[in-house]
Amino acid sequence: MNRIRPLVIPLGILILLIAAWGPAWDPANLSPEGQKAIGVFAFCLLFWMTQPIPLAMTSLMIFAIVPLLGISEPKEVFSLFGSNTVFFILGALIMAGGFVKSGLSRRMAVLFLASFGRTPDLLLLGVLLSSAFLACLMPEHGVAALLYPVAIQIADSLNLEKGKSNYGKALFFALAWGSIIGGITTFLGGARNPLALELYQQFMERHQLQAGSMVSFVDWVIAALPVTLVMLFFAYWVLRILYPPEIDDVRAAHQVLEEDIREMGPMSRDEMKVGAVYLVTVIGWVISGYKGDLAGNLAIIAILGSAGLFLLGTLTWKDCQQHVNWGVILMYAGAIALGKT
């Protein structure tokens, strides 16, 4: 990326200059502000794809560029940083940090894999399903980071040749695909889900189509789950065809997983506390679909759930700084601000 940086930055500046002072064009009766917003989006898309500066910094620039180009008033733009969705994402990321720090996420993953790991096909299915399941409870990138060492452990125990083993390739693709596919199932799987809901509700309100526009936590899961299951089926089918296993014995991997379970011992108090907080929080999200402002309720419950982890002593602010990707919050705050223009 460093090699194209000298080209990308001038190109981005040129896009903004054209957006600000270029000739007016009128696609579908779009206002001048709307045309400028498209230019800002093109600038951000270029910088997000090539990353001459960090993703979060590009998103933060939106809060300066939009008022400078006269698209929206500064007060209106900066108020969007307090969006319900931003605080929902913040609360969900903090809770995911507690989930990982307590060890509960790893315990669930290893137990899940051990129950599947009897044959090569079942172990592959276990990796796919366990990553998809965990991505329903925490951000997908966190799931991939969590399960990657476990997948390495499995590959080493089976003596899979790096870069050449079909089964090794299938395992790691299953880990990645499962995380991505499972991440669409709930609002917890990735910030794009609550962001999509926020933009959808903005669209409905703008066009005065409020009736029936509220999508609850349960509504989302009901709509997304069939898609998730179909995609998981096809992912498994594709992996079996593209990478037929060259091994027929995975007992060594099963033994490694069983040893991991023994080393973890019984559930710790922190794991139990985190599990209880997660359960209560999810119940709160389910109930919130039947009361008032859904987006506001989701954010409130997420913040209360994350606060519960601190109150129970399972998470410290230092842990929070370590496990929460603050750049993600800035990135999606910028996306919401741009989508609102």
pLDDT tens-digit series, residues 121-163: 999 999 999 999 999 988 888 888 888 888 898 888 888 888 8
Who contacts 172 (Cβ-Cβ below 8 Å, separation ≥6)?
A: 151
Instruction: List the single range of 35-39, 232-236, 259-263, 324-328 with lowest mean pLDDT.
Output: 324-328
> Distances from the Cα of 302 to the Cαs of 95, 167, 173, 183, 203, in angstroms?
8, 39, 31, 17, 24
pLDDT tens-digit series, residues 80-127: 676 777 888 888 888 888 888 888 888 888 888 888 767 889 999 999
Backbone angles phi, psi at 15, to 5 degrees: -60, -45
Q: Once rounded to an integer, what is the mean pLDDT over residues 234-262?
A: 89
Is residue 16 pLDDT above 90, yes or no?
Answer: no
CB 112 within 8 A of CB 224: no
Q: 2: exposed, middle or buried (C-beta count within 10 Å: 0-12, 13-18, 19+)?
A: exposed
Describe the chain by its helix, strand, coil percentages, rounded to 5: 75, 0, 25
Q: 284: exposed, middle or buried (C-beta count within 10 Å: 0-12, 13-18, 19+)?
A: middle
pLDDT at 143: 87
Give the whole-number percent of the chain exceeding pLDDT 70. 89
Q: Considering the chain, what is the average pLDDT of its residues?
A: 83
233 compared with 143, residue with greater pLDDT: 233
pLDDT at 210: 57
Highest mean pLDDT among 7-21, 282-296, 321-335 belongs to 7-21
Give the confidence band of 233 by pLDDT, cuts at 50, 70, 90.
Answer: very high
pLDDT at 133: 92
